[in-house]
Amino acid sequence: MEPSTGYRIDELARRFGLEARGDESRMIRGVAPLDRAGAEQLAFLANPRYATDLAHTGAGVVVLHAEHADASPVPVLIARDPYLAYARIAKLFEKLPAATPGVHPSAEIAVDARVDPSASIGPGCVIEAGATVAAGAVLGPHCVIGTDCTVGAQSRLGARVALVTRVTLGKRVLIHPGAVLGADGFGIARDEDGWVKVPQLGGVRIGDDCEIGANTTIDRGALEDTVLETDVRLDNQIQIAHNVHIGAHTALAGCAAVAGSATIGRDCQIGGGAGVLGHLEIADGVTITAMTLVTHSIREPGVYSSGAPIEENRAWRRNAARMRQLDAMARRIAALEKQVEVLTKERS
């Protein structure tokens, strides 16, 4: 069924394994926020902070947790994870532009490059020697697929994506505009006369079903490859340095940075603006909150944080001044503890 014709609530319930309550015959033709949804739109409630919006919603149906079902004035779809259920349903209404197989006349393709006839190569693209573009892949305008790079089947590259050299994309990889994969890693050695560049001889390997955000950069390895395993998700403007290895199903939010040769495990979540120093190891199942700086390896799963939360400026200035006094205060406390210990011994 085409999204434009809509879906009955009971059909959505069957398709996604949800419990429906209320008028299940209503047609749903789109999605919208809880406080602005109309009678033919689906909304969701995942965060209890927005529960007050539920009483006034005009949505055709709301995806929510069972505990909020009785408070809804409209039909509901009950899910154990409302946000996940919404994400799956919303895909039915996503309208991606159709890609036409073939090569745009303005594209330039090397004689020995291999481009599957079912791939779509947009205007101004350059595909260099030894590159491969597999079946059903889509290259947006002005992409550059460098020497010995491979774009896997059904992968989609937005405008101006550059695969520099020795980059391999798996199947169904999505790369947003402006991302650069396979540029030189930051390898330099100090000489008495200045810096000597270290050749970056490795590549980049991206697993199936990964997503890479706009203007994100992933450097190729110095000797071995930089690796993203299956289903890794990177937000916009992230820096992944050479020889980093990121485990499957890990997600990094915007402006995070991972220094060279760090290893991040599976099923990790790294918040926006966080940094991971080089050569560290992060275990599976670790969450790093936003703006945290990871300075040592993390061996156990859990949630880790650093940095100072925001507060009113005058309080922050007072606390910053006290921070500078911590060493002196610690010394005074240690001295007082010794005096107390001496007095205690004398009295006993």
Distance CA 207, CA 246 (A): 10
Distance CA 9, CA 27 (A): 7
In terms of DSSP bridges, do strands 150-151 and 132-133 run parallel, antiparallel, or are they unpaired? Answer: parallel
Distance CA 258, CA 277 (A): 6
Distance CA 223, CA 200 (A): 7
Instruction: Tell me the two tokens of residue 202.
Output: 């490795």
Distance CA 179, CA 165 (A): 14
Asked if 276 contacts 258 with a C-beta cutoff of 8 angstroms, the reply is: yes
How far from the centroid of its chain's Cα atoms is residue 22's Cα? 36
The DSSP result for 196-233, as a single string, is: EEPP----EEE-TT-EE-TT-EEEPPSSS-EEE-TT-E
Distance CA 77, CA 21 (A): 7
Q: DSSP code of 66?
A: G
Asked if 162 contacts 200 with a C-beta cutoff of 8 angstroms, the reply is: no
Catalytic residue among 176, 242, 245, 249: 242
In terms of DSSP bridges, do strands 245-246 and 226-228 run parallel, antiparallel, or are they unpaired? Answer: parallel
Sheet with 138-139, edge to edge strand ranges: 102-103, 120-121, 138-139, 156-157, 174-175, 211-212, 233-234, 251-252, 269-270, 286-288, 302-304
Which residue(s) pair with 102 in the sheet? 120
- How many helices and strands (H and E) does the chain possess? 5, 39
Q: Is 176 a catalytic residue?
A: no
Q: Which residues are catalytic?
A: 242
